[in-house]
Amino acid sequence: MKKSTALNAPFQPASFAFRDVTKVREIIARYPKGRDQSAIMPLLDLAQRQVGEDGLKSAKPYGGWIPRAAMDEVAKLCGVAPMKVYEVATFYSMYNLEPVGKYLLQFCTTTPCWLCNASGVLQAAEKHLGIHVGDTTDDGYFTIMEVECLGACSNAPMVQINDHYYEDLTPEKMVEILKSFRQDVIPPSGPQNGRKGSMSIAGPTSLMDQAKKAGVI
């Protein structure tokens, strides 16, 4: 994933303040005194979610991202140079440094998913939305990102939409899911082919007793 370098872009707000001050205090208090920089990552996440909440209410919706002012605010709260926060924020693909769509689609295209037709799923989404990887739809609803392994290999292929995994996809299923999101109806996450969790589609083949106890068969 190519990170944004257009950081002096005009859409950067001039200032940023956390709304949930209690939460900020709680996050910083999690770490030993003098180790405030450990709070950088959860605070960045909090900032991203706060911006995302505002985005939902906006006329043209957008998803969570971290403005530069927010990074500076986090640096101030953690008592480090802003550069330290920029380094962290640019390193992780989880942090968006420019506005994204209301629904952020993160397609896994690493080997196991790819072997299970991840590229077909991705292409179906691109064709349906009329955009390519890295782009956002004009209505502000969707952004497509290509990411490395998200750790759901047993349910390949998969896509992460905002905070949820949609697994065992087919190109057709993908389009259905997108249509549903376009109506702001959130379809149930998880495997899309009827399988439970990550067990075999035909039901458990081992550890039957435990499966019974857990109530899956």
Residues that bind another protein (CB under 8 A): 2-3, 5, 7-8, 68, 81-84, 86-87, 90-92
Residue closer to another protein, measured from CB, 51 or 75: 75
Left if phi > 0, otherwise alpha if psi is -120 to 50, otherwise beta: which for 166?
A: beta
Residue closer to another protein, measured from CB, 2 or 213: 2
CB of 135 to another protein, least distance (A): 19
Residue closer to another protein, measured from CB, 7 or 175: 7
CB of 169 to another protein, least distance (A): 26
CB of 90 to another protein, least distance (A): 5
- DSSP label at 141? -
Report how far residue 1's alpha carbon sits from residue 179's, in angstroms, rounded to the nearest whole number: 25
Residue closer to another protein, measured from CB, 26 or 87: 87
CB of 114 to another protein, least distance (A): 18
Token pair, residue 3, equals: 């990170």
Report how far residue 167's alpha carbon sits from residue 153's, in angstroms, rounded to the nearest whole number: 9
Packing angle between helix 68-78 and helix 21-29, nearest 10 degrees? 50
The tokens 């992780």 sit on which residue? 92
